[in-house]
Amino acid sequence: MKLIIHGGFFSESDQSHDTKIAKQNALKSIIEKSYEFLKSNSSYDTVAYAVSLLEDDELFNAGIGSQIQSDGVIRMSAAIMDGDSQKLSGVINIENVKNPIFVAKALRQEDDRVLGGSGAKNYATEHGFEDFSTEIPQRRSEYEAKLKTGGKGTVGAVAIDSNGKLAVATSTGGKGFEIPGRISDSATVAGNYTNEYCAVSCTGVGEDIVSNATSAKIVTRVTDGMSIEDAFAKTFIELKQIDGFAGAIGIDNKGNIFHQDSYPTMVFASFDGENFEVFE
């Protein structure tokens, strides 16, 4: 059983040392709770749980604390996928729900598994998800001042359970001040992908991640026999060719955990029951 989570990027230039410490502590707490959950649950249920905890923490740009788009509205996206069935389900630009990842998870049972905008919100309402504002005062202040701090943030989780099953989940509150209707990578196979061989979640600039097909490339390369380290390396070389801004976390079916970013510093934490690692 192993688990790795990410919470976007940290920049010394626009975030304080206190914020860095707070994010390190939050990630440690979340991954410890999530690993305990993994002991008695599947990797699929665990990644949803881990991402929901990240969505509930306003330090991160997903769920509560999501960025505000250029028209003053928060729209969020999330997706989840398991390696066995390879069914990806997700929501795109959903409004006024507390945990987009749980709506994405609920869609797994449907034939139409990725919904956007009002359709996603209507589905959430019909299935008992209460109306909930995820806005916090800090984001409104940033919006009104037209600041863009924290605009390269997404949260995600990758896990392998005791049965060797892989799963991945990813959620984002957007980059902030985007054109309404803009679609990020998080609910696409570029930003969130797994099969029985490897699982990968991305964070960064969604347009760069989509252009590079980052998650799908890494997983495909591992499937074709490349090591997870080499698959990451080759994919990030290609990302560099377009000056792409991204970070990614992954686990292969041998239990190898790996992470890489194109521009420091991706916020992440991993735990395998013995060894804990957190970004510095």
Active site residues per annotation: 154
φ, ψ of residue 34 to 5 degrees: the values are -70, -35
Do the annotations mark residue 182 as ligand-binding? yes
SS3 77: strand
**DSSP letter (8 states) at residue 84:** T
Whether the link from the prior residue into 265 is cis, omega within 30° of 0, is yes
Do the annotations mark residue 181 as ligand-binding? no
Do the annotations mark residue 117 as ligand-binding? no
Do the annotations mark residue 184 as ligand-binding? yes
d(CA 272, CA 56): 23
213: which residues sit within 8 A by CB, 6+ positions away? 189, 190
Angle (CA) 64-41-21 rounded to 5° is 40
Do the annotations mark residue 185 as ligand-binding? yes
Q: Are 100 and 76 in contact (CB under 8 A)?
A: yes
Do the annotations mark residue 51 as ligand-binding? no
Conformation bin of residue 247: beta by default, left when phi > 0, alpha when psi is -120 to 50: beta
Do the annotations mark residue 168 as ligand-binding? no
Burial string for 152-184 (b: 16+ CB within 10 Å, else e) reads: bbbbbbbbbbeeebbbbbbbbbbbbbbeeebbb
**Total residues belonging to the chain:** 280
Do the annotations mark residue 203 as ligand-binding? yes
Q: Which residues are annotated as a binding site for substrate?
A: 182-185, 203-206
Q: Which residues are annotated as a binding site?
A: 182-185, 203-206
